[in-house]
Chain A
Amino acid sequence: MRPSKYIFISGFLLAGLLVAFTPLPVPRNEPMHHIFHVDSRSFAFTPAEIKVDRGDLVTIELTSSDVVHGLYLDGYELEISTDPGQTNQLTFTADRAGSFRFRCSVTCGDLHPFMIGKLQVGPNLLLWRGAGLAILAALAGVWKFHQ
């Protein structure tokens, strides 16, 4: 291996680490309290996409318009369920940034495993970093490490 090969590989690795971990300035507003009314029916949440800023207090009021459904929030590992006609609340501080799926946690029929919604907290840095890493990976692939 020529020494320049090491330089290129280390360069790409360093760039990758930078893209993956550089702290980025995220605009911080005054934390707000958001209350979302989320209705569930087989097999959808309405609204299915929710956006808040990092640090906000979030209350989800879950209702059901047909059978028993639940809501499990990925990443936060929180869960509530609700009977038809009943409202159940889940309140938490959105202290993790990113995009999180929420999914029905009570078997409610065939499409139950696919009953999914999405909570976005602040800018989705993982997506942007992932896109950056992808571009870097593509460039690294073209580079002639061999020879």
Chain B
Amino acid sequence: MTRKPLNSLPGFNFWIKSRWPQLIIRAVLLGGFIIAILAGFLGTPVGNRNISIVAVWIAWWAALILVAVPIFGRGWCAICPIPMPGEWLQNKAVLGPSVNRNSSKVSRRFPKRIRNIWLQNAAFSLLAVFSVVILTRPIVTAWVLLALILVAIGVSLFYERRVFCRYLCPVGGFIGIYSQQAPLELRVADPSICATHKEKSCYRGNEEGYGCPWDVYPGSLTANTNCGLCMECLRTCEYDNILINLRSSGDKLPAVRGGSLDSSYKAFIMLGSAIVYSAVMLGPWSGLKDAAYQIGSLTWWGYAVGLLVVIWAALPGLFYLVTRAAHKLSPSFHNPRQIFNTHASVLVPLSLTAWIAFSLSFVFANGSYLVPVLSDPFGWGWNLFGTSNAIWTPYLSQYVPVLQTIVLTGGLFWAARKSQQIAEARNAPRQSWPIIIFCTFITVSLLWLFVG
């Protein structure tokens, strides 16, 4: 793997260490977040004329899944406004650490048993069963956004660091697993400097910045998953030992030991929800759409239970059988759980590209709703920029299916290679075959949903 540190670029460290650019971006986003909540409560109930829906589920979602996550990994977390008010209260400061920073700071750790992403998996699944309503009704989106920020404030008053981001945020969980593939990473330049540096300012904080808000010790970082790119360690490290690297490939695979079950489940949840959403939102089956929409009705219960069964039981169960077959074909000394968890990591690129393909269609078809809404964010008949009468028109509708095909086959190649590398690292080269057949089956099914 080749790496190129960006820190040597002129001005890079200066602008990153300065708190102002990040604060200004986050403050603007917080303003937008508040406007989205207000618009949801006070604006028109028509989703595609209300900025809460259009800005969050079309503009932000497109920027996140098509650009931020694939290129910057957790880059969004670096500028996310949701945890910001909570951090201010927790730190009793808006900009830098205050002088007597240790005086009365919360130091309670999050309970050990739930220091994993099961809660995020649950939070995402909970939102998933209501997704069609959240995506279309401004007031529901407003409640969701408000709940997120209130919970974030609440936990940051009770527990130290960014517990909300790391263990609760429904979006944070999948950004974390996808950031493993990103071409950008934060790492230390020389681990031996860290080993002898007793203060560990990056973890504990000093006058220059806070101890790692993500509860990570940068000296031993080997994966992007839990690094929020908040840049505090760049500010605190007295040895300028922290680098932001461009890199030629993703995080090293946990090929032999295997990942953890909560992360594996995150991958199933993302893959399963991409499949179900594609059928519900992009397919021609109106019965499915009605079922997903009529919350509380019998058909909705059917849909909700069906969705949860697919993502929590059917997909993982099927995949378990596939890993058993892999083990039969090419035995290795690992136990079934290790085999399952390691191979599940190939679903990370597969489900990321599934989400990109899904979003391409959703975003290009509905992107033009943004134009009138910018002029009339609440749907009150304003015309701020003279665009409020712009007509809806899908973008690139001829090319989207071709793009989706390219993205999905690219994702399959990526997953297949990863699978092969895992199998070879274990000296069980044929272990990859059943896994790759499974991935091919998923890819062809998705193709059928998108372009069939």
Contact B401 A126 (CB under 8 A): yes
Q: Tell me whether B413 and A72 are in contact (CB under 8 A).
A: no
How many A-B contacts if CB must be within 8 Å?
A: 132
CB of B280 within 8 A of CB of A114, answer yes
**Central interface residue in A45, A75, A136, by most chain B CB within 10 Å:** A75
Question: Are A112 and B48 in contact, CB atoms less than 8 angstroms apart?
Answer: yes
- State whether A49 touches B284 (Cβ < 8 A): yes
Q: How far is the CA of A103 from the CA of B47 in the complex (A)?
A: 16
Interface centre among A72, A105, A110, A133 (most CB of B within 10 A): A110
Interface size counted on chain A using CB atoms at 8 A: 41
A66 interfacial contact with B, CB 8 Å: no
Partner of A103, one of B289, B394, B419, B444: B394
Is A117 part of the binding interface, using a Cβ–Cβ cutoff of 8 Å? yes
Interface of A with B (CB < 8 Å)? 43-45, 48-49, 72, 74-75, 77, 98-101, 103, 105, 107, 110-118, 124, 126-127, 129-131, 133-138, 140-142, 144
Q: Is the interface of B mostly helix, strand, loop or mixed?
A: helix
A107 in contact with B366 (CB, 8 Å): no
Give B431 Cβ to nearest chain A Cβ, in Å.
11
Contacts of B280 in A (CB 8 A): 114
**Closest beta carbon of chain A to B389's beta carbon, Å:** 13
Q: Is the CB of A98 within 8 A of B413?
A: no
Given A111-B293, A127-B448, is A134 in contact with B412 using a C-beta cutoff of 8 Å? yes
Encode contact with A along B434-452: 1 for CB under 8 Å, 0 otherwise. Answer: 0011011001100110011
List 13 additional contacts besides A75-B397, A129-B405, A133-B405; criterion CB under 8 Å: A45-B286, A49-B284, A74-B398, A77-B397, A113-B365, A116-B282, A126-B451, A134-B440, A138-B413, A140-B416, A141-B412, A141-B419, A142-B420
Q: Is B402 an interface residue (CB 8 A)?
A: yes
Q: Which of A48, A113, A141 contacts B136 (CB 8 A)?
A: A113
The interface residues of chain B lying within 8 Å CB-to-CB of A100 are: 397
Give the distance in Å from the alpha carbon of A75 to the alpha carbon of B448 in the complex: 17
**A138-B394 contact, Cβ under 8 Å, with A99-B401, A130-B405:** no
A-B CB contact pairs (8 Å), 6 listed: A74-B394, A99-B401, A112-B47, A116-B283, A130-B409, A131-B447
Q: Report the minimum CB–CB distance from B228 to chain A (whole Å).
A: 31
Q: B416 to A142, Cβ gap below 8 A?
A: yes
B452 & A134 in contact (Cβ 8 Å cutoff): no
Q: Which residues of B contact A133 (CB under 8 A)?
A: 405, 409
Asked if residues A138 and B416 are in contact (CB atoms below 8 Å), the reply is yes
| Interface residue from A77, A105, A124, A134 paired with B408 (Cβ < 8 Å) | A134
Query: Is B284 in contact with A116, judged by CB distance below 8 angstroms?
Result: yes
A142 pairs with B397, CB closer than 8 A: no
Residues in A with CB closer than 8 Å to B414 are 141
B401 touching A98 by the CB < 8 A rule? yes
- The CA-CA distance from A116 to B279 in the complex, in Å, is 11
Chain A residues whose C-beta falls within 8 Å of the C-beta of B285 in the assembled complex: 48
The 10 closest A-B pairs by CB, nearest first: A141-B416, A44-B286, A74-B397, A137-B413, A48-B284, A130-B405, A110-B136, A141-B417, A118-B284, A133-B409
Q: How far is the CA of A48 from the CA of B440 in the complex (A)?
A: 28
CB distance from B220 to the nearest CB of A (A): 28
Interface: B117 (CB within 8 A):
no
Q: Are A124 and B289 in contact (CB under 8 A)?
A: no
CB contacts (< 8 Å) of B408 on chain A: these are: 130, 134
Contacts of A98 in B (CB 8 A): 401, 451
Establish whether residues B394 and A124, one from each chain, have CB atoms under 8 Å apart when the complex forms: no
Give the contacts of B285-334 with A (CB-CB under 8 A). 285-286, 289-290, 293
Q: CB distance A111 to B398 under 8 Å?
A: no
Interface contact B409-A134, CB-CB below 8 Å: yes
Complex interface bits, B2-39 against A, C-beta within 8 A gives 1, otherwise 0: 00000000000000000000000000000000000000
Q: Which of A43, A107, A116, A142 contacts B48 (CB 8 A)?
A: A107
Hey, what's the 0/1 contact readout for B39-73 against A, CB within 8 Å counting as 1?
A: 00000001111000000000000000000000000
A75, A124, A131, A138 interface centre (most CB from chain B within 10 Å):
A138
* Pair A72/B394 contact, Cβ less than 8 Å: yes
Quick check: B420 and A141 within 8 Å, CB to CB? Answer: yes
